[in-house]
Chain A
Amino acid sequence: MGKQILLKNIDVPGLADFQVYRKLGGYTAVEKALKTLSPDQITEEVKKSGLKGRGGAGFPTGMKWSFIDKQSEKAKYLVCNYDESEPGTFKDRHIGKLNPHQLIEGMILGSYALGANTAYIYIRGELFYVLKILEKAIQEAYKNGFLGENILGTGYSLDLYCHPGAGAYICGEETALLESLEGKRGNPRIKPPFPAIVGLYGSPTVVNNVETIAALPWIVKNGYEAYAAIGIGNSKGTKLISACGHINKPGIYEIELGLPVEEFIYSDEYCGGIRNGNKLKAVVAGGSSVPILPASLILKTAAGEPRLMSYESLAEGGFQTGTMLGSGGFIVMDHTTCIVKNLLTFARFYRHESCGQCSPCREGTSWMEKILTRIENGQGTMKDIDLLVDIAKHVEGNTICPLGDAAAWPVASAIRHFREEFEEHVKLQKCPF
């Protein structure tokens, strides 16, 4: 195994228990931060560590924090985005389930850095069992003086609450999440203003992914240099990858950014190769919304360089020949997979999850699903393939939030790289698989 930051103690029995976590050095980062570091110093540490948002967009975390107006008289909020529901992504649930105190410790550090005295964990409603574990852990943290009034006698106070979502993927979009947290219908807000200016209850707010926050204790404890020494280029640190599909060892892996994709798929340390010795056909590298790549382009870039698991390398070639690291939902497909059927599954998901607020997404996602259903069922025409490309083009970039893009990219990329398979469906008037 490579570097272990997030999953280091994950196999220790009873890790969810406060005492076990504490014995392994838990909450020492909070002690260090609250007693020896100023909030700005922590922000600076995080900035220099090169930590990027692990929810999908990969925005530098320290920079996101620095957009908060510290002089504002309004309350500031840190909100943890635990609404993990992207198809193929199942990494965050692991942290809350097995190591909830790591997340809580991260929340304390982040809140302290931002000057927030109230923080929220917005957790996907379906993860009810994780919510239970988290709530118990939060109670323990309160009991041991790490949450509540005057933490460790430093004068800093923090209240931490969990709020379960009600079953909408769209609430993972940060402004829809805030609406939902405020008790409203989870429709994304129109930006600007961004949450750093007008966020939760109209106050400056930072929304961070679970994995991002869980990395904070290690960074504070070991210093930014240690974190920045891991990884490659501008992709610092480690990343959780939830690998699934036609591989021998599906699961959640912590990798050092920069690991070659080929090694990740074929080495026994990670995915262990393709099932039954089958041929690799395609990979969706970062959750269902990122562009799909055929085997040739996921293992090597168009320039012939080995493709690495990093923000830069996966994005090399733009959307023509590249993709995104996204949230780390790594979906592997062997040669028995029907790309059209897989795409239809994705399209159905996005149609179902569109909030319906803006017209391109509401109507476009449903139209694309209907056409794909036709093609998969052998009732499509050659014109339909071009029509799909055209619809995807007009949904992308024209919507209020990124769900439109997330629905359009898989369609555009599947046709870009596997057009002949769509044409075969039309010619044969049935699915060839």
Chain B
Amino acid sequence: MPLLKVTIDNIEVEVEAGTTIMNAARIIGGKVVPPAMCYYSKLEGSGGKCRTCLVKVAQGSARDPRPMPKLVASCRTLVQDGMVVQNITSPEAMESRQAITEFLLINHPLDCPVCDQAGECHLQDLSYVHGLQETRTVEERRTFKPIDIGDKIKLNMNRCILCYRCVMVADQITEKRVHGVLGRGDHSEISTLIVKAVDNDFSGNMIDVCPVGALTDNTFRFKSRVWFAKPMDAHRKCSKCSGKVVLWMKGDELLRVTGRKDKYGEVGEFICNDCRFEQKEKNDWIIEGPRTIERHSVISQNHYEISPGESVRMIK
């Protein structure tokens, strides 16, 4: 198969047919990568919903050079040969991204100081770059009471941006989904029908794929800010999953176990609830060493020194 040539923000890259603009941008890397709040490469059919990754297609393809009439979702639009895409170089795309960020924050409680997700929250990152300085809403925010869906998972619907990732995780890696989106429009919510518990071996991955603080780990609740914890790569022999995880340590205390997330916040391999919730002793694990964390992340604060290149290593 011949490779397709695509130009994103004046940078040319060659990709295989069937690649989306988003993934082509990820091959280039750096600032030209559009933010993704709902797209998750490991989840089939994800993306297209949050609209934060909208980009301008200034030239559709070499064969048909007309520009696309509207901004397109880069996570769901396939690259054509000779396509010219503008992301950060398009004022139109930047303006719409600012608007989308505002939409996503209209009903968000902005309770980062008491949210466990703070520091690894994609909405936080997004608002930092694209958020307005002041709020234009005076309306009351939509509020829900936080509920436990299953004994290990806390659902705080106030923080949810309805990305559908947790629904897709349940659909695609567990045997039976018992939660979903109820209602529609601004009154839609993630919930279980008639307070049914989410209880299966892989339910904890809903927490990992949640881009915001809507689904958090009950066993980690209020224990520490993530940037005070030290992430360590570790593994164990597990009959249900790969057993490859990240341990979040404070001294010798193991605060939390998560999947291994890449720089886009996506886990490489989903892990089972045994590994995540039940193995909370350091001795349960074989520790491989400190995890490499992107420098832009707040998690790298205090614990890391800058080394050449993009990423930094933890000071031992």
**A→B interface (CB under 8 Å):** 168, 170, 185, 190, 351-360, 362-367, 370, 387, 394, 397-400
Contacts and interface: CB of A to CB of B under 8 A. Distances in A.
Interface stretch (B68-76, B81-89, B203-211, B281-289): B68-76
Given A370-B139, A397-B70, A360 B185 contact: no
A363 B162 CA distance: 11
B107 interface: yes
A398 B188 contact: no
Contacts of B180: 185
A3 B164 CA distance: 51
Contacts, number: 86
Interface in B161-188: 161-162, 164, 180-181, 183-188
Interface stretch (B47-55, B213-221, B241-249): B47-55
A398 B47 CA distance: 14
Interface stretch (B22-30, B95-103, B265-273, B297-305): B95-103
Nearest to B107: A363
B137 interface: yes
Contacts of B107: 363
Interface string B57-79: 00000000000001101001000
Given A367-B139, A387-B136, A360 B162 contact: no
Given A351-B185, A355-B184, A362-B185, 8 more contacts: A352-B185, A353-B184, A354-B184, A358-B51, A359-B52, A363-B106, A366-B185, A398-B99
Nearest to A381: B138
Nearest to B185: A354
B206 to A, nearest CB: 18
Contacts of B226: none
Nearest to A357: B49
A351 B186 contact: yes
Nearest to B162: A356
A364 B103 contact: yes
Given A357-B162, A364-B103, A398-B96, A170 B51 contact: no
B48 A398 contact: no
Contacts of A387: 136
Majority SS of interface residues in chain B? loop
A353 B47 CA distance: 22
Interface of B: 47-52, 54, 70-71, 73, 76, 95-96, 99-100, 103-104, 106-107, 136-137, 139, 161-162, 164, 180-181, 183-188
Nearest to B136: A387
29 contacts: A168-B184, A185-B180, A190-B48, A351-B186, A353-B184, A354-B185, A354-B186, A355-B185, A355-B188, A356-B185, A357-B162, A357-B164, A358-B51, A359-B100, A359-B103, A359-B161, A360-B99, A362-B185, A363-B103, A364-B103, A366-B106, A366-B186, A394-B95, A394-B100, A394-B103, A398-B54, A398-B99, A398-B100, A400-B48
A170 B162 CA distance: 18
Contacts of B54: 398
A362 B71 contact: no
B217 to A, nearest CB: 25
A168 B184 CA distance: 9
A359 B184 contact: no
Nearest to A359: B103
Given A356-B162, A387-B136, A397-B71, A363 B51 contact: no
Contacts of B183: 356
Contacts of B136: 387
Residue in A170, A354, A359 with the greatest tally of chain B CB atoms within 10 Å:
A359
A410 B180 CA distance: 32
A221 B257 CA distance: 71
A359 B51 contact: yes
Nearest to B77: A192
Contacts of A366: 106, 185-186
A170 B183 CA distance: 13
B103 A185 contact: no
